[in-house]
């Protein structure tokens, strides 16, 4: 049951972020669910590998390169999911920040 609740929170976060950030387009609720699933998969399996490979850059930039890794995961999700598009790096950055804030706030109310 917890997995379904987290998926719903992520879907809602995708929908909220897509409405707040210009340059982010989600075709509908089903697309938002698919985006949430793809981001969960990427963040579980691909992101740790990329973070390890980017560790020297992350140390050199005092941790700021983690934002770039996050943006890369979002852009990869936009590439993989039809009906989800992002116009550029800055839009993906703000999308990630808003999605994190919304997910955290909603998660606090449900835990």
Long-range contacts of 87-95 (CB under 8 A, 24+ apart): 87/22, 87/23, 87/24, 88/23, 90/23, 91/21, 91/22, 91/23, 91/24, 92/24, 93/67, 94/17, 94/21, 95/17, 95/18, 95/21, 95/24
Alpha helices in 42-64 (DSSP H): 47-53, 55-60
- pLDDT of amino acid 111: 66
Q: Is the pLDDT of residue 2 over 90?
A: no
In tens, the pLDDT along 90-109 reads: 999 999 999 999 999 998 98
- pLDDT of amino acid 36: 97
Question: What's the chain's average pLDDT?
Answer: 95
Q: In this structure, what is the dihedral angle of CA atoms 6, 1, 107, 72, given to the nearest 10 degrees?
A: -20
Q: Is the pLDDT of residue 110 over 80?
A: no
Q: What is the percent of the chain where pLDDT is above 70?
A: 98
- pLDDT of amino acid 37: 97
In tens, the pLDDT along 65-94 reads: 999 999 999 999 999 999 999 999 999 999
The structure tokens listed for 12 are 């809602």
Residues, the chain: 111
């Amino acid at each position: 049951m917890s997995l379904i609740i987290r998926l719903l929170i992520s879907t809602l976060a995708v929908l909220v972020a897509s409405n707040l950030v210009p340059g982010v387009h989600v075709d509908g609720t089903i697309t938002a669910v698919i985006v949430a699933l793809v981001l969960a998969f990427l963040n579980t399996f691909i992101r740790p590998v990329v973070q390890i490979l980017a560790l020297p850059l992350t140390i050199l930039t005092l941790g700021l390169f983690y934002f770039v890794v996050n943006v890369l995961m979002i852009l990869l999700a936009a590439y993989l999911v039809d009906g989800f598009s992002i116009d550029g790096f800055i839009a993906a950055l703000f999308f990630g920040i808003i999605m994190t804030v919304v997910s955290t706030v909603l998660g606090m109310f449900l835990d």
